[in-house]
Amino acid sequence: MKLFVSEGNPHCVKVLAGLEVTGVKCDVQLVSHEERVVPFLNRPVLPVLLLPSGQHLFSPNAICQYLFEVVGKEASDDGNQLLEWEATELQPAVLQALHMLMLQGKSGEAGTVLKGPLGWLEQYLSKRTTPFLTEETVAVADIVLWAALYPILSNSTFEAVVGELPSVRGWFKRVSQVPACEAAVQRVLQGKGLDALKNFLQKQPAPHIQRRDSPSSANATEMEDSELMMTEEEVEVAAQAWSKGLPDCSDSTQKKHPILPQEGKRNVLVTSALPYVNNVPHLGNIIGCVLSADVFARYGRLRGWNLLYVCGTDEYGTATENKAREEGLTPQEICDKYHAVHSSIYKWFQIDFDYFGRTTTEQQTEIAQDIFWRLHERGYLLEDVVEQLRCENCQRFLADRFVEGVCPHCKYPEARGDQCDKCGRLINAVELKEPQCKVCQQTPEIRSSKHLFLDLPKLEGELEQWLEKSMGSGDWTVNAKHITRSWLRDGLKPRCITRDLQWGTPVPHPDFSDKVFYVWFDAPIGYLSITANYTSEWEKWWKNPQQVELYNFMAKDNVPFHSVVFPCSLLGAQDNYTLVNNLVATEYLNYEDTKFSKSRGVGVFGDMAKDTGIPSDVWRFYLLYLRPEGQDSAFSWADMALKNNSELLNNLGNFINRAGMFVSKFFEGHVPEMVLQDEDKRLIAQVCWELKQYIQLLDKVRIRDALKCILNISRHGNQYIQVNEPWKKIKGGDDDRKRAGTVTGVSVNVACLLSAMLEPYMPTVSQTIRDQLQAPAHCARAMLYADRGFLCSLSAGHRIGTVSPLFQKLESEQIEALRKRFGGQQVPSSTVNSAQPKPPAAAAPAVNASVSAADPEKAKQLAAAVAKQVRTCAKCQIKNNPIIITIFPSTQ
Amino acid sequence: MALKELSSLEKCLGLKKPNKYSTQGERKVPVLQNNNGPALVGLVTIASHLVHEAKRTELLGNSAEQRAVVQQWLEYRITRLDNCSKEEVKVILKELNQYLEDKVYLAGNSFTLADTLMYYGIHHIIMNLAVQEKEKFLNVTRWFDHIQHYPGVRHHLAPVVVLRNRVYPSGQH
């Protein structure tokens, strides 16, 4: 055991005194302040005790505690408490005071800093009956506190500023007289008094006791939001704006196709990454691309932007060929089949594309070949020879996914040609040991073949210039910027754009007539060709960067193709293409533990969502609620039930339903007269503020955060109803009845605003609310358009329709059944056949149970429960067992 | 915050009767009112007291040495980690990452109170790390993932997703 100390370090007084008092045998080594004894600490820290086990103790208090324990003096609650107080309160104050006094010469301020802790200690000691802090004799707490206070209490400068402290001084004197303590002081300060500390203090980072910028602010801000302080003026302005009511709005909400850019309008082109056709899309795909883009597109239309949202299936490539072989169909048949599957899933999820197309069209060939020739003419294409695996038996070159073998890095026997599932490393297919053709199990040969490369290095300068402009002026998510920069930092390399396949866009160059374009080159061109299928005037969108603002939505794995590779193709083609202005990439939505893979078919698929009996709007809500914005998030069935029951049912649904019910029950379905009092105005102002936040956030595509604003409004609303108790006031006198009328009227108008704000997130619920309230059709647009704010859209006398509950409770048994049904599909082998898992037969009864939860009887019960305002316990003990979901690349 | 931690710790220790806590001062230091004596003040003090009450003293360490190491990390948690500035967060992660390089738990080979309280204290930091940063502080992430799955520990905190494979393997593109 060895103790490292340094001269003039007050902390060393503690441990040396402790060593002397306990009489523990230990080598003491004197080192300089800068000596880094503990290897893992960032700064040199002393004293340090090297334990016999080789571990380092670098906390003086822990060292003292240890020394006392070695001689049989165990820690007590009392002692622990004093040590904790010393570490958290006294020590920072002492260091700050010393810093102020010795280095800045501010003795007065130094005294102020110490007042609190010393006062506390004085009080503590005055109540004790023992001569020392915890016992009749000197214990660990005495040594630690005494040593901490030594520089202060032994210095006459402090006497005047800290004031009379009889008990503290008495105790301090008693400890100072212990010979061990005297010796320790001598050893550290060398008789130089406090000046000995100067050198040490200069080496310390400036102490700052006032560290209130707690990083736990994530939760703190959420709580603060709800206690937002409003000035009188703000409240008055909001109330006046509200009272004006809806303007006459002649804006037609009907879309007129084809939508084309218009002069003087904000022209917004929205795309979501093209899902790969050969698989059923995942919940992960849905939230990462199409659903996120849909919310933004719906929002943009509400805001009155001239907006076009296009997407489609990405259909060419090896995976399609493979799937076709598997299912015994032609690639075209596979595409037709799965395109329909995709369409119907997105329809069920209410994705409101202006056009949902596909990449296997003539326009695709035309545009891709045009871009190719332009690149070729301008010298942006290179030729090179590539080594590839060829299966003689199958008579073709094997794409990465068609080869399996032993991983050259970790020896995993089932590594794929592009990546090893075990160690996660990327592999070059020709490096695989013992490669096998996945189709016929024969060993393929290495052959060389001539290919074309896009000369990215040549375009790098131009790309960087454009990126700087686009990132500077548009909204790029942090991950998108990060990934793009990391690509540029590593330097760009030429990228192969051709493939030895049949199923693809043919390369028009005669020397490469048997080849097609590689999907990464081809697929993003799909955005253009899909638009071309929508309208022959597609170039008004895609060759019009002056008028058009382009938003690309995707998961982060797709970022480089949209920020580096595709822009390079378009820049090189030099045809005034519209390049992306806003690149919105999500992180991954997945499961905490298990690794999962597309080829193993682990995950939840879009077509199964509707079989759960849970409405599409609830799915949308939950996926958007946990949209991986800024960080990964995980889907969990139990959490979905919790959010449904607590946020949708008890918060949002409860508020809207109560507001409507009060109008029906107490005012015969007519919105009552509203005479605003301060309290009502405050609510209106709060709602206005949340609405403003919502708009600001959605303008920046912070979809998840904006959803919280909606929930905040209904929380405010519930509180408002709860405090004002219209159901009681309605039975009271005239004034009370009027008050009940105002509260009900304001509430039902808040409900109407909520229907507008919900439109991008939950379109069906939004429409249902408006139907129930018989709200004017244009009210949603009116309030969001041009920042008009929260308006009284249901004026006194307006007749509402029939009000009924909007949401149903998700029972824990139902959720547990779903969790089992979707969670247990760990397919043992990695054969490609397993790409589309079927729920195990044994789970069938559970499915029925889940469907029956939606029956009318159940709905009636729920309605009753809502009416009675029965609150389900939000903390109900549902086992938290999330399911596996991921977002896979949609371009291969 | 500290109060939630303590009630989670109670559950984690299997204490049947939940205690009532209050807080004092600007820093909201937790206080435990005690029937048999004066109130206990301070997170570590109360936590250690609970461990004794639950007769799970092995969680404070099995030897004098280990007990000292546990105390040291408990102190680190409340003095360095709590209320630390943004710049300091990186330093702390770096230090812990180096320290944990060859360790399973904070105090060596067995799970202790230091792991529990450090986990509670660092959760909000890990929660806000980008995937790249999680990879950078690999040892901390591994330890964190391990502790959040340690039976009975997590309670009031949301699970943090930890990816097992690297997002940006070196030498590709």
Ordered DSSP codes for A582-647: EEEEE--EE-SS----TTTT-S-BHHHHGGGT--HHHHHHHHHHT--SSS-EE-BHHHHHHHIIII
Q: Starting at the earlier edge strand, list the strands of the sheet with A2-5.
A: A27-30, A2-5, A48-50, A56-57
Residue A870 identity:
V
Predicted structure pTM score:
0.60
Is B138 in CB contact (< 8 Å) with chain A? no
Contacts of A152 (CB under 8 A, 6+ apart): A94, A97, A98, A114, A158, A162
A289 backbone dihedrals φ, ψ, rounded to 5°: -120, -80
Taking the CA of residue B119 and the nearest CA in chain A, the distance in Å comes to 14
Contact by Cβ (8 Å): B145, B154:
no
pLDDT digits (tens, 9 = 90+) for A94-143: 988 888 887 777 777 778 888 888 988 988 888 888 889 988 888 999 99
Question: Given the structure tokens 């016999």, which residue do they identify?
Answer: A52
B75 contacts A62? CB cut-off 8 A: yes
Nearest CA to A685 out of A716, A726, A722, A647 is that of A716
Candidate from B45, B68, B89 with C-beta closest to A77: B45
H or E element at residue A499: strand A498-499
Which residues of chain B neighbour A631 with C-beta distances below 8 Å? 127-131
B69 contacts A592? CB cut-off 8 A: no
Q: Higher model confidence: residue A107 or residue A617?
A: A617
pLDDT at site A156:
76
Contact by Cβ (8 Å): A446, A430:
yes
Contact by Cβ (8 Å): A585, A559:
yes
Which tokens is A486 given?
């990391």
Indicate whether A421 pLDDT > 80: no
Candidate from A63, A215, A424 with C-beta closest to B86: A215
Taking the CA of residue B78 and the nearest CA in chain A, the distance in Å comes to 7
Which tokens is B149 given?
């799955």
Of the residues B63, B140, B161, the best mutation for testing chain A's interface (the one with the most A CB atoms within 10 Å of its CB) is B161
Which tokens is A116 given?
């609190």
CB atoms within 10 A of CB A620: 25
- Residue A536's alpha-carbon distances to A146, A220, A542, A579, in angstroms, are 86, 53, 12, 20
Bridge partners of A310, per DSSP, are A271, A355
A88 contacts B42? CB cut-off 8 A: yes
A70 contacts B79? CB cut-off 8 A: no
Q: Mean of the per-residue pLDDT values for chain A?
A: 83
- Return per-residue pLDDT of chain B as tens, 173 residues: 688 889 889 988 988 888 888 888 777 888 888 766 778 889 999 999 999 989 999 999 999 999 999 999 999 999 999 878 888 898 999 999 999 999 999 998 899 999 999 999 999 899 888 877 888 899 999 999 999 999 888 878 888 877 655 555 444 33
A663 backbone dihedrals φ, ψ, rounded to 5°: -65, -45
Beta strands in A314-444 (DSSP E): 355-358, 381-391, 396-397, 403-406, 415-416, 433-437
Q: What share of chain B is helix, strand, coil (3-state, %, to 5)?
A: 55, 5, 40
pLDDT at site B18:
82
Q: Which one-letter DSSP state was computed for residue A774?
A: T
Nearest-angstrom CA–CA distance, B87 and B109: 30
A493 contacts B173? CB cut-off 8 A: yes
Per-residue buried b or exposed e for A14-34, using 16+ beta carbons within 10 Å of the residue's own CB:
bbbbbbbbbebeeeeeebebe
What is chain A's length? 892
Which residues of chain A neighbour B76 with C-beta distances below 8 Å? 59
pLDDT digits (tens, 9 = 90+) for A622-672: 999 989 888 788 888 888 898 999 899 999 999 999 999 999 999 999 999
Contact by Cβ (8 Å): B125, B140:
no
Candidate from A77, A592, A595 with C-beta closest to B161: A592
Question: Given the structure tokens 């340690």, which residue do they identify?
Answer: B150
Give residues 82 to 121 of B whose Cβ lies within 8 Å of A.
83-86, 89, 91, 94-95, 98-99, 101, 108
The dihedral sign for the CA sequence A387, A391, A396, A399: negative
| Ramachandran quadrant class, A617 (left: phi over 0; alpha: psi -120 to 50; beta: rest) | alpha
Nearest-angstrom CA–CA distance, A509 and A268: 35
Contacts of B169 (CB under 8 A, 6+ apart): A424, A425, A426
| Ramachandran quadrant class, A280 (left: phi over 0; alpha: psi -120 to 50; beta: rest) | beta
Least confident of A37-51, A404-418, A538-552, A859-873: A859-873
pLDDT at site A414:
84
Q: How confident is the model at residue A882 (pLDDT cuts 50, 70, 90)?
A: very low
Which tokens is A872 given?
């389900």
Indicate whether A62 pLDDT > 70: yes
Contact by Cβ (8 Å): A739, A672:
no
B86 contacts A631? CB cut-off 8 A: no
Which tokens is A790 given?
């929260």
pLDDT digits (tens, 9 = 90+) for A464-480: 999 999 998 999 998 99
Nearest-angstrom CA–CA distance, A781 and A762: 15
What is chain B's length? 173
Beta strands in A20-94 (DSSP E): 27-30, 48-50, 56-57
pLDDT digits (tens, 9 = 90+) for A331-340: 999 999 999 9
Candidate from B71, B89, B166 with C-beta closest to A65: B71
Indicate whether A425 pLDDT > 90: no
Nearest-angstrom CA–CA distance, A851 and A873: 24
Contact by Cβ (8 Å): B40, B34:
yes
Q: How confident is the model at residue A591 (pLDDT cuts 50, 70, 90)?
A: low
Nearest-angstrom CA–CA distance, A547 and A108: 65
CB atoms within 10 A of CB A813: 12
Contacts of B25 (CB under 8 A, 6+ apart): none
Which residues of chain B neighbour A63 with C-beta distances below 8 Å? 68
Taking the CA of residue A879 and the nearest CA in chain B, the distance in Å comes to 11
pLDDT at site A578:
96
H or E element at residue A317: none
Contact by Cβ (8 Å): A364, A529:
yes
Nearest CA to A646 out of A871, A393, A890, A374 is that of A871
Mapped onto helix, strand or coil, the DSSP state of residue A668 is coil
Candidate from A630, A634, A880 with C-beta closest to B161: A634
Domains of chain B as residue ranges with CATH: 2-167 (1.20.1050.10)
A179 backbone dihedrals φ, ψ, rounded to 5°: -55, -40
Nearest-angstrom CA–CA distance, A723 and A285: 43
H or E element at residue A453: strand A445-454
Pairing state of beta strands A582-586 and A548-555?
A: parallel
Q: What is the mean pLDDT of residues A187-195?
A: 80
pLDDT digits (tens, 9 = 90+) for A313-325: 999 988 888 888 8
H or E element at residue A554: strand A548-555
User: What ipTM was assigned to the predicted interfaces of this complex?
Assistant: 0.93
Which tokens is A185 given?
């002081």
Indicate whether A365 pLDDT > 80: yes
Contact by Cβ (8 Å): A116, A210:
no
Contact by Cβ (8 Å): A10, A197:
yes
pLDDT at site A339:
95
